[in-house]
A and B are shown apart, each in its own frame.
Chain A
């Protein structure tokens, strides 16, 4: 069976969930071979093996942390040369898309970004994309070269499928471009202890209706009662009430959780672009005409300052 390369997104060896989802999708089109780079690369192997990686190609070098994007492209290109895969799958993060694009160009292949599903087809893997703010679904394939496809988080269920996952050293020689863009400083983001926004099963968001940074505590309490991530509309972010990294929408994160709860958010097209594929959508908004209500499975027309605390209390009571 053909091998499929899966680029591993990990933090010091801890594999992030979207990569495990990719392994599930990769098994539909071939045998997953994982490529893990940077500090902790080898310690990803156990998690990857448990989810179906037959081999783990690992490589660490200071270049991955010290320079932007290109060293990772060099490594992935070396992996493609070593494996001759049927396809290359990369998680759809901002960096993942840049890596995938440069790789595709180098190996003479087309690229599809932000797939939400993947299946085997007669002429190679067929990717489903959710486009135009999720109002259309398209099916596409790469018609030239080795398909390079980036896949959005929450596009497949993580399935255990034990495989060998033997670690092999990947030989990488860096290109002249590799050291072009220096990372001269790095400030790690402080962890909130809440789930990662794009990976969370439940997202609770607040918009302009939350009316102040201090009131976001209400949104956070509701999120914590459900074990959810916190999101925000651009209006809330631009007002400085919540960090930009939590923005949901076209210029923020795309989320596709099981449950999305929008509080004081009108539902502008650019916000919908980032959350419309959520499985169940709930909204609290005092304006019955707000466009968000066109999307909801359940909506409460009311003041969020009344509804949200009551909801949080009720959830806590029910959870005992």
Chain B
């Protein structure tokens, strides 16, 4: 038996950099370094663990939709141990929203062939946390999302979802879409050997025509949402800072009382 896993990984601007918007109100990628969204490392890690724990022949493909530089995200995932990569890149994708992104990803996943899709819980830029559910809806397969624990056996995926009210055990038959949280297990660092091996692994590039998609279906033009303005929040006005010289707690209480919190 074989198991084909597609891991979706996003290339995002570094959260510790000075992120901002371009004139067309899309994310300005020119001035900030990009990287593999850290939360997608957990998805790659779980794919690797499923592979390591499986008697089946497992093939792990990492998939990204993003600009030229997004190849860096694929390289990182390959150096962690994924087998091959697919990069969907097309100028017309600029400004694609969540519904559009899920369309492109779903088409690419279908073309690649899959038994299991693994995503992160949310990107670190849009942070919507909706793409995995959208993929399940589009692909017509079960969603087994936000798992802090995941395992695959005999064509069934099982996992634990820790919600606000309860912790739930979930189960679905493959094919399925899974997303994993940062509680699922620390992601490994690429080894030197992994980094060298990654250079030889195949990276396919697909554009919209490879996926039978039209420019109008994606990008800013095809977006189902419109951003009207983006304004930087004014820096918070400098607050009062006191040094504790024995009365710090009382001084703080005085402040809280003044603000009517006590």
Name A residues whose Cβ lies closer than 8 Å to a Cβ of B. 11, 68-70, 73, 93-95, 97-98, 100-102, 104-106, 109-114, 126, 130-145, 177, 180-189, 196, 202, 226, 244-245, 250-251, 258-259, 269-270, 273, 280-282, 284, 288, 293-303, 306-315, 318-319
Q: A180-B141, A188-B165, A284-B248 are in contact. List 4 more A-B contacts (CB 8 A).
A: A68-B168, A177-B142, A288-B243, A298-B241
- Which of A141, A185, A295 sits near B168, CB closer than 8 Å? A185
A202 and B261 in contact, given A183-B169, A309-B249 (Cβ under 8 angstroms): yes
- Taking CB atoms, residues of chain A closer than 8 Å to B232 are 135-137
Name B residues whose Cβ lies closer than 8 Å to a Cβ of A. 15-16, 19-21, 25, 39, 97-99, 102, 121-122, 124-125, 127-130, 132-134, 136-138, 140-146, 148, 158, 161-173, 176, 181-183, 223-233, 235-236, 239-244, 246-253, 255-257, 259, 261-262
- Taking CB atoms, residues of chain B closer than 8 Å to A142 are 224-226
Contact B253–A315 (Cβ < 8 Å): yes
A141 and B134 in contact, given A110-B97, A135-B19, A301-B241 (Cβ under 8 angstroms): no
- Which of B132, B224, B255 sits near A282, CB closer than 8 Å? B255
How far does the alpha carbon of A196 sit from the alpha carbon of B136 in the complex, in Å? 30
Main secondary structure of the interface of B (DSSP, over half): mixed
Contact B167–A280 (Cβ < 8 Å): no
Contact A138–B252 (Cβ < 8 Å): no
Contact A105–B138 (Cβ < 8 Å): yes
Contact A282–B256 (Cβ < 8 Å): yes
- Taking CB atoms, residues of chain B closer than 8 Å to A139 are 227-230
- Which of A202, A273, A313 sits near B249, CB closer than 8 Å? A313
Output the nearest chain A residue to B169 by Cβ-Cβ distance: A185
- Which of A93, A98, A102, A311 sits near B253, CB closer than 8 Å? A311
Least Cβ–Cβ distance between B21 and chain A, in angstroms: 7
Output the nearest chain A residue to B246 by Cβ-Cβ distance: A306
Contact A113–B128 (Cβ < 8 Å): yes
- Taking CB atoms, residues of chain A closer than 8 Å to B231 are 136-138
- Taking CB atoms, residues of chain B closer than 8 Å to A113 are 98, 128-130
Contact B239–A297 (Cβ < 8 Å): yes
A300 and B251 in contact, given A11-B165, A68-B170, A226-B261 (Cβ under 8 angstroms): yes
How far does the alpha carbon of A111 sit from the alpha carbon of B170 in the complex, in Å? 26
Contact B252–A298 (Cβ < 8 Å): yes
How far does the alpha carbon of A95 sit from the alpha carbon of B164 in the complex, in Å? 10
- Which of A98, A250, A309, A313 sits near B124, CB closer than 8 Å? A250
- Taking CB atoms, residues of chain A closer than 8 Å to B176 are 180-181
Least Cβ–Cβ distance between A109 and chain B, in angstroms: 7
Contact B162–A245 (Cβ < 8 Å): yes
- Which of A250, A299, A307, A308 sits near B241, CB closer than 8 Å? A299
Contact B223–A306 (Cβ < 8 Å): no
How far does the alpha carbon of A301 sit from the alpha carbon of B225 in the complex, in Å? 45
- Taking CB atoms, residues of chain A closer than 8 Å to B243 are 288, 300-302
A98 and B130 in contact, given A301-B244, A309-B249, A310-B249 (Cβ under 8 angstroms): yes
